[in-house]
Structure 1
Amino acid sequence: MKYDLILKNGLVILEDSQQNVEIGVKDGKIAAIGQDLGEAEQVIDAQNQIVSPGMVDAHVHITEPGGGYRDSWEGYVTGTRAAAKGGVTSFIEMPLNQVPATTDQASIQAKFDAGKDELSVDVASYGGLVPYNLNGGIQELDEAGVVAYKAFLATCGDRSIEGDFENVDDYSLYEGMKQIAKTGKLLSIHAENATITDRLGEIAKANGETTLSAYVDSRPVFTEVEPIRKIILFAKETGCRVHIVHVACEEGVDEIIKAQQEGVDISCETCTHYLYFYKEELDDIGPVVKCSPPIREKSRLEGMWNRVLNGDIGFVTSDHSPCTPDLKDTDNAFEAWGGIAGLQNNVDILFDEGVQKRNMSLNKFADIIATAPAKRFGLKAKGSIAVGKDADFVLIKPNAPYTLTAEDLAYRNKMSPYIGREIGAQVTQTILRGEEIYNQKTGISEKRTGQFI
């Protein structure tokens, strides 16, 4: 067979080992793995590089359509180009902050229309669980092909915007979980106690607090743990499969592990920023690093890493949730938009912080960025380098430090808390279904070969 593409001379992360093997690609799929595969239309020499499955980022916010309210936020063109540059070959898009939120057939079709011919990487879709879509919206989203659903227990959305996302009350959560259980799909949940965190924030603000440190204190650890416990109880009652997004504390992870041991179908993720930043440095960085749940104390950082390394945390995501610069431009942390732009800097940072600094195995690295999320969300063609899978790869140059600048970012609004940081590895090439979509020397491809999954 003459292949369309052969990758050779790289250290390839396979499903259960790392080997210096060649990968043969035909019609966008991995057709062979071995030595001396023969001829190909194109050959990529990955000498001195790691060949990993492309990242499957299971938590990304794209704000298109913007509905006239958020038209200057991250769109499909810039968001998927940033993904390509960062080694992300597919991501799962959240059902907010676009307007309208993705809560029924009409709104998901508006999203598909907005992204038509604009994707540089493949995009799967979340549907929302909100109080206003319990009468058929969940079923419409299932039929439209969402891979999972998302609900907020924390306060979210803008009530002045018709069709914006909305957090669930206990009844909506319970009823929605019963309906979602019948689809067999996952419900991913933002677990923070809205009543307590909202009130603590109001009190802190009234007392004249403005710092990020005070913001963190207004969302204490127990306000993550309590709703996780409630979700576990509701999952037992309804049979709904659940996933806790962006867990920021060890105690929350420990509750999830205990529930797994009791037979609950539950998993969790954390985010790169919870494994990198810490509370004591936030005020020096500024509101660009504000998010919720908040980034916690430095003393907790290694505990979170330990839970990644031992498999208690299933995988790591970006929770890329950017806004426009004006919403971060304030000296009052309580007034700033809560969301971090991180889509482009997961592969390089996690490789540096995990593999190079903490001796994480290459297989564990591939698992937390690609294999585990692909399995959990049923993306059967994605997530690993194996015959029959999509030919999605990221090439990584190890021990190659660089300092991130704003000019490096492909986002629409070039903000990131990682700007100015030295990162000890580099993404040199990204390949989606056998086609190069990013090359460090030539930049991001102008071809938009991404597809909605």
Structure 2
Amino acid sequence: MYDIEIIGARIVTSSAEFTGCISIEDGKIAAISEKPLRNSKQTIDASGLHALPGMVEQHVHFMDPGENDREDFIHGSSAAATAGVTTVIEHTHSHPVRTVDDLLEKRSYLKNRSLIDFGLGAHVWPGYFDELTGLWENGISFFKAFTCTTHGIPGLRNSDIFEAFQKISSAGGVVLAHCEDESMTERNEHNLKLMERMDGHVIQEWRSKEAEEVAVSDVVLLAKLTGAKVTIAHVSHPFVVDIVHRGREMGADVMAEVCPQYMFLDEYQIQDRGPFGKFTPPARSAPEAKRMMELLASGSIDILSSDHAPSTRHHKLEGNIWSCHFGLPGVETTLPLMLTAVNRGEISLQTVVKAYSETPARRLGLFPRKGSLRVGADADIVLVDLTKKWTISDDNVVSKAGWSPYSGMECTGKPETTMVRGQIVVQGGKVVAEPGTGRYVSSVISDNPHSRV
């Protein structure tokens, strides 16, 4: 007898959509059938709902440990779960993982703090390159590399990147690269401060498109030269996607990641928001935002993530536009926004599943245990109501941020039930499980450790 059977759902994978039933046993998908098997302890009637594999969110900052007054794993993982995310990969700038000891300490600390499964990213940090291989062997999910100093994380020179990429490539690791050329952002900052600019419009000029383009070009070439697997984080405009594709044509193993803020926000919408519009790379023009959605829909952009980097209103209002925190909350709105785009005919639900679940799981060596609906996979499942109309509101934010950059936006489509390894953690859009449900995951302990793409 199975533990749970989900009946009558519209099952969606990256390549198929059909009405059927999913039976779960011991936290795994045990059977997928056209008709109910009627052989389970619990039955969930999902008629009228779509069943998707749980989202694999590869880019969040839960600030835990480090800046728990901005966010923590309890709130962050709960926010993620309400939005259909069942696995997150987290890295924190204020308390970076640079050594194996850092990793083991953080894993121990987080043992009972996550509602959903989680992995951790490490930082590529000057002076710690000898730790890279050991970090990979001990289960880090990826290495975060910055080309410019951000959040107190030192920017890497090309010689540093070349050395680090060589070591990571030899170990079989994966890089997530934040790409903005530091010499250009420093010059822009210097000139803007000479003009005593303090308005929100400075962000687009400070963190310019050109700075992103130059850094991405360098990183893509370094990936080609070293053989490193590199994902370009939070790509903000179409020309950068072109650079990534040119790199692939050269033989570089590079992918592009996009976030909702580069498709649902534009530079004119955020320029008057002051610190609440400060994130980097910043939003670009409305036509570029529209094009980014088209590129994701066509498969030209590989991975969708939130880059959830929250601050409370109090933190955002500290200091001025130059000194306040970068970043936006976003993990609990990413899937709802994409469901809305599906309803508007801008992207298919299968493409959303591929970009936000299957491809990140593959890239991080977690597929097919994560990112799939198939027999033997973890029963990480989200049931969504594609017809539900609702409005994003600051009043309903689960994250410690307490606000959303999309507040007031009308959505169609909402996650209703989220299951992690067969355990219901969200029901009716509300958290119903306790922190500690989540387990640590990595390719080292994957069922298929050679499944990275």
| TM-score with structure 2 setting the length | 0.93
- Output the CA distance in 2 between the equivalents of 1:350 and 1:254: 23
User: Number of matched residues?
Assistant: 439
Aligned AA (2:168): I
Map of 2:93 onto structure 1: 97
For residue 374 of structure 1, the aligned residue among 346, 361, 382 is 361
For residue 314 of structure 1, the aligned residue among 295, 302, 305 is 302
Kept in 2: contact 1:13–1:363 (CA 8 A): yes
Shift of 1:420: 2.3
> Higher mean Cα deviation, 433-442 or 378-387?
433-442
Kept in 1: contact 2:316–2:325 (CA 8 A): yes
For residue 167 of structure 2, the aligned residue among 163, 171, 179 is 179
* 2:342 matches 1:346: no
SS in 1 for 2:387: coil
The runs of 4+ residues in structure 1 deviating greater than 4 Å are none
Kept in 2: contact 1:131–1:167 (CA 8 A): no
- Output the CA distance in 2 between the equivalents of 1:260 and 1:345: 31
Kept in 1: contact 2:143–2:173 (CA 8 A): yes
Q: Which runs of 5+ in 2 are unaligned?
A: 442-453
Aligned AA (2:372): S
- Output the CA distance in 2 between the equivalents of 1:221 and 1:272: 18
For residue 137 of structure 1, the aligned residue among 119, 131, 136 is 131
- Map Cα deviations across residues 85-131 of structure 1 (whole Å, 9 max, x no partner): 1111001112x3242x1011111122112212111000011121111
Matches within 5 A, 1:282-431: 282-329=270-317, 332-353=320-341, 355-380=342-367, 381-431=369-419
The percent of aligned pairs where both chains have the same amino acid is 27
Residues 1:402 and 1:183: Cα distance change in structure 2 (over 3 Å): same
- Output the CA distance in 1 between the equivalents of 2:432 and 2:154: 36
Map of 1:81 onto structure 2: 78
Kept in 2: contact 1:201–1:215 (CA 8 A): no
Shift of 1:330: 5.7
Kept in 2: contact 1:84–1:430 (CA 8 A): yes
SS in 2 for 1:167: coil
- Map Cα deviations across residues 194-225 of structure 1 (whole Å, 9 max, x no partner): 12112212321331322322321222212111
Kept in 1: contact 2:280–2:326 (CA 8 A): yes
Kept in 1: contact 2:13–2:354 (CA 8 A): no
SS in 2 for 1:19: strand
For residue 149 of structure 1, the aligned residue among 134, 143, 147 is 143
SS in 2 for 1:252: helix
* 2:18 matches 1:48: no
* 2:115 matches 1:116: no
- Output the CA distance in 1 between the equivalents of 2:284 and 2:41: 50
Shift of 1:74: 1.2
SS in 2 for 1:126: strand
Map of 1:270 onto structure 2: 258
* 2:190 matches 1:202: yes
- Output the CA distance in 2 between the equivalents of 1:382 and 1:441: 22
Map of 1:162 onto structure 2: none
Kept in 2: contact 1:177–1:238 (CA 8 A): yes
SS in 2 for 1:299: helix
| TM-score with structure 1 setting the length | 0.93
- Map Cα deviations across residues 257-302 of structure 1 (whole Å, 9 max, x no partner): 1111222111110101111000111134442232100111112112
Aligned AA (1:74): E
Q: Which runs of 5+ in 1 are unaligned?
A: 159-164
SS in 1 for 2:344: helix
Kept in 2: contact 1:18–1:362 (CA 8 A): no
Map of 2:22 onto structure 1: 23
Residues 1:216 and 1:43: Cα distance change in structure 2 (over 3 Å): same
Shift of 1:45: 1.2
